[in-house]
């Protein structure tokens, strides 16, 4: 019999030091659980992650790993004492192709490019991005301002990252959370695919720094813009520039910095239309 999937947050006791006094207290903190991705019965990766939005996680991980291009997967969630296994089969010939290139990797929280097998894999190029999307500075900062109100897990724990997708055409905001910023983006990728939302129609928003794997994953989604509250790495900037992505970072209130392809950021609000 399968066990229940762990709750994404738990309440734990602690000793709190307040005003030079120590007393028993408690705090709600995020859970961190081994999550195994298996495709056709073969384990592909084990990531430490928050056990929430697991179907989105499985689909998004398959997309950002390049195992599928888009769409959905039938995912079986199996929990045990050791962790949670996300079981699925890749569609059509993808499962056969996968068997030819299967590999295993282990990814500690927040590690980025974990378990890769060669320097060539670390230096892989991001997918070229296109699109005529343009947004104003005011629209972008207003979208980022919406994130704290949507971060249910972070309001409880103050310890998880968020990856969001904002559409300037519809105003819709998708958001997923996790202790790992790259896990949160994988979950977001899965949510977009499962809802049939094109990555080219909006902007990826991150509550973290921008490292190279976030640019790579955003390019797999098809997003032409990524924005974050913290600074990027130099490799992330070079990768975004090479693939045609606009990278905005160090967002603080109304202020931010644009590192690549600034033509997508306008002073005045553009007329957004559905292509």
Instruction: Write out the two tokens for 141.
Output: 């900062």
Of the candidates 215, 197, 198, the residue with the CA atom closest to the CA atom of residue 206: 215
Which residue(s) pair with 209 in the sheet?
Answer: none
Nearest-angstrom CA–CA distance, 169 and 145:
17
Show the DSSP H helices in 169-274 as ranges.
181-194, 212-221, 234-243
Options 14, 111, 114, 243, the catalytic residue: 111
Is 111 known to be catalytic?
Answer: yes
Q: Say whether 171 sits in a helix, a strand or coil.
A: coil
| List of E strands, 115-191 | 135-136, 161-166, 173-178
Q: Given strand 255-260, what is the order of strands in its sheet?
A: 173-178, 161-166, 203-206, 225-228, 246-252, 255-260
Catalytic residue list = 111
């Amino acid at each position: 019999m399968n066990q229940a999937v762990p709750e994404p947050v738990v309440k734990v006791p602690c000793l709190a030091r307040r005003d030079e006094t120590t007393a028993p207290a408690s705090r709600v903190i995020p859970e961190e659980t081994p999550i195994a991705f298996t495709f056709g019965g073969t384990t592909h990766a084990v990531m430490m992650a928050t056990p929430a939005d697991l179907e989105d996680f499985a689909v998004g991980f398959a997309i950002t790993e390049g195992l599928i291009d888009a769409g959905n997967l039938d995912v079986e969630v199996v929990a045990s004492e050791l962790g949670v296994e996300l079981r699925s089969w890749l569609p059509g010939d993808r499962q056969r192709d996968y068997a030819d290139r299967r590999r295993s990797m282990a990814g500690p929280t927040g590690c980025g490019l974990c378990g890769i097998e060669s320097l060539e894999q670390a230096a892989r190029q991001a997918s070229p991005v296109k699109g005529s999307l343009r947004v104003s500075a005011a629209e972008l900062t207003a979208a980022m301002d919406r994130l704290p109100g949507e971060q249910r897990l972070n309001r409880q724990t103050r310890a998880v990252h968020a990856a969001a997708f904002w559409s300037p055409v519809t105003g819709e905001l998708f958001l997923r959370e996790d202790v790992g910023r790259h896990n949160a983006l994988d979950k977001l990728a899965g949510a977009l695919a499962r809802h049939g939302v094109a990555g080219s129609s909006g902007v990826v928003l991150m509550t973290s720094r921008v490292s190279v794997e976030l640019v790579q994953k955003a390019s797999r989604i098809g997003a032409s813009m990524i924005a974050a509250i913290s600074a990027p790495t130099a490799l992330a900037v070079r990768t975004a520039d090479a693939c045609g992505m606009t990278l905005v970072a160090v967002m603080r209130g109304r202020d931010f910095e644009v590192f690549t392809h600034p033509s997508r950021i306008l002073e005045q609000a553009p007329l957004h239309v559905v292509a």
